[in-house]
Structure 1
């Protein structure tokens, strides 16, 4: 005998005070409750209730049984309530992102995330240094490029493309390059990584070594050099999008721009994602659909 529905009928009948009242609450008939309680009594070989002038009355054995079963039901309800609360995103999530991508794309969307998930706390670290998610206890990392790490799962959210640009004043003075050969003859602003100038990637896998008197190890610094009219640079589209929109910088050789590197959200593989981490991954993946090149 599957005893659960009969226990439910017994508890509900006693709490309601009669079979009729329990039936009204459940949207069924009094006889349905009466029969279930009778079957429970038969199963236990024990008289649990009697019909009194004021409704159901418990026998001494029924009273003791009711208290014990009611406690079990209360414990089950509490467990279900706790499990439900556990599925609501809440708690702290540590997020890591590269400096420029974090400043230009991630941070402007934090306020919207806070409105969507007010019980999730974000700790954001912006750094171009490699971050070991497990060793440094980071929950979600925004990664640019491909990476091979069997400990991590990743969710692709877009691409980081670079473009060639310069200030209108520079282009008026030196002319706008129309070919790679013309580009080679201009003043180049180089990006430094580890003290070395990073080559410009060209279509078809080619490269151009940037030469010129100025170089910097951040795209913010390159942007300022561009605005000052000191040369041409290959920079992420995101870092100059507002300047291009306002006419402070101009993009050229767009058909020569690189395809770009994949942007992913990385998190530890091999265990179900906590609701708070899932909320972060899903929110920013959805935000990327309309704000990052796909």
Structure 2
């Protein structure tokens, strides 16, 4: 029985490396095996499970739905084993690498100021920070945790709410002095409305109009891939931008940006969540430590 369990553990380790490294050859180098041996091991695993885990017909590694589900469980099992072994000799201190995917705005305004305290609390943890405003596939990006804004789709992801924030249209004083401060929706026609370079859930600026809410397209001469990029463009006087309040609060207080059209602001708020893969299963201690810390210190307001 012990020998069988050891083989299963090895199979899971090799399969996880195939996914993490993006192919058989790369996994073989990490596992100190030949690519042929890795391929045969995965084939035996698929036979034993009675399910195909990896599509071999494409040039790039592609997991089947069964492979994705198996990978989620395998990573949790291997993390639990690692935690148990390290905890026995490290006083249960969380250790290991965490891959965190988050927006540039959250990383700049929320995470950066609190990160030193997290690293001081957990000297055994290293953080791999990836910044993008695009919604990512955690499995494909090999992300342990992601901080995302906006409504969540129903999925196998587990979410922990980090708060919500108002949305504000702002412009730099220099820009407003040149083009005038808009007082109505019609006034926006003569303004450069800075927007995102990708499709979002609400692809425009919601505004009150009589008793309705209308969405004004964010059409302008400049687009950006993230909210922090839009903030920098607005600060430089390139146009108006609709941004999360927590990213521009200090700029407004210092007079670097000015809120406009507040009487037409519909009061919508953008919600932030920390999400991770899994449905209530045990979490590695390093992941749990980060989630608990973000819930305590990483609130968005």
Equivalences for residues 259-274 of structure 1 within 5 A: 259-270=268-279, 271-274=281-284
Q: Does 1:188 align with 2:192?
A: yes
Secondary structure, aligned partner of 1:164: strand
User: Matched residues in 2 for 1:115 and 1:194: separation?
Assistant: 37
Pair 1:151 & 2:156 matched: yes
Counterpart residue number, 2:141? 136
Change in 2 beyond 3 A, CA 1:228/1:88: closer
- From 236, 240, 244, the equivalent of 1:236 is 244
2:170/2:241 contact within 8 Å kept: yes
- Deviation per CA, 1:222-269, whole angstroms, max 9, x where unpaired? 334323434322122233333222211111333515422210000122
In the aligned structure 2, how far is the partner of 1:80 from the partner of 1:233? 50
**SS of aligned partner of 2:181:** coil
In the TM superposition, 1:59-74 aligns within 5 A as none
2:224 and 2:173 mapped to 1: Cα distance? 21
Instruction: State the 1:86 CA deviation.
Output: 6.1
Q: Distance in 2 between matches of 1:233 and 1:254?
A: 13
The aligned residue for residue 288 of structure 1 is 298
Residue ranges of structure 2 left out of the alignment (5+ in a row): 1-83
Q: For 1:109 and 1:217, how far apart are their aligned partners in 2? A: 25
Instruction: Quote the offset at 1:159 in angstroms.
Output: 1.8
Q: 120, 123, 141: which is aligned to 2:125? A: 120
Kept in 2: contact 1:192–1:217 (CA 8 A): yes
The two structures have a TM-score, normalised by structure 2, of: 0.60
TM-score where L is the length of structure 1? 0.62
Count of residue pairs the alignment pairs up: 212
CA RMSD of aligned residues (A): 3.1
Task: Confirm or deny: 8 A CA contact 1:96 1:127 kept in the other structure.
Answer: yes
Kindly name which structure, 1 or 2, has the bigger radius of gyration based on alpha carbons.
1
Ranges in structure 1 where 5+ consecutive residues have no aligned partner: 1-78
Deviates more, 1:89-98 or 1:172-181: 172-181
Question: How far, CA to CA, are the matches of 2:131 and 2:178 in structure 1?
Answer: 37
Distance in 1 (CA, whole Å) between partners of 2:87 and 2:215 is: 58
Deviates more, 1:192-201 or 1:79-88: 79-88
Distance 2:223 2:142 in 1: 34
Say whether the 8 Å CA contact 1:191–1:218 is kept in structure 2.
no
| CA displacement 1:93-144 (0-9 Å, x = unmatched) | 2211123322332233211111222222211111234332234332111111
What SS does structure 2 have at the residue aligned with 1:240? Answer: helix
